[in-house]
Structure 1
Amino acid sequence: MAQHVSSTGDDRTANNAVRHQYRVLSDAEKAQMQRIKDMGAALITELHVIGGTDPTLDRFASRDLSLANTHIEDAVMRAVRHITQ
């Protein structure tokens, strides 16, 4: 069974095979990271709403919405990388 680790937790290297050292984040940085991820999730949910698709599935109504999802995921990843570097 897979172990889940909070992305804002100080033990977030437990299930990461690539990056083995992280600096400890401040509470403000943890809050920033959580806000960015929540905003990304809300925007992805909105893509499902406007496309009339089930948000529990990874299928979108059009190629454009699928590409928008990819770009949202990339934007969240890059913002989190900026916060955590």
Structure 2
Amino acid sequence: MKTKIVSTSDQRTANNAVRHAYRTLSDTEKAQMQEVKDMGAAFIAKLHEIGGTDTGGDRFASRDLSLANTHAEDAVMRAVRHITA
């Protein structure tokens, strides 16, 4: 049985407004989640490089790069949701 963590616990995921209970992740799942997030961050950094914008900012050089960023963020979120489900 997988361990659940109550949403009011300090161990909850701070940015998840939907789940009310969380399970403890395995070391493999934690590594997968970190890798997916690192890949997303690297892709978003590349978008800033392509557009010549500040990597610490949220502005992109074009609508297309902004949409690519949005889709990258969505892809990372959905992969993490799969890992943590």
What TM-score does the superposition give when structure 2 sets the normalisation length? 0.82
Mark the structure with the bigger radius of gyration. Answer: 2
In structure 1, distance between residues paired with 2:15 and 2:35: 22
Shift in CA distance, 75/63, structure 1 to aligned 2, threshold 3 Å: same
Give the count of matched residue pairs.
Answer: 76
RMSD: 1.7
List 4+ stretches of structure 1 deviating above 4 A.
14-17
Take 2:30 and 2:78, find their aligned partners in 1: how far apart are those partners? Answer: 15
- How many angstroms apart in 2 are the aligned matches of 1:38 and 1:80? 12
* The structure with more strand, counted as a fraction of residues: 2
Partner of 2:23 in structure 1?
Answer: 23
Aligned to 1:75: 75
Superposition TM-score, scaled by structure 1 size = 0.82
Partner of 2:64: 64
What is the distance in 2 between the residues matched to 1:59 and 1:15? 22
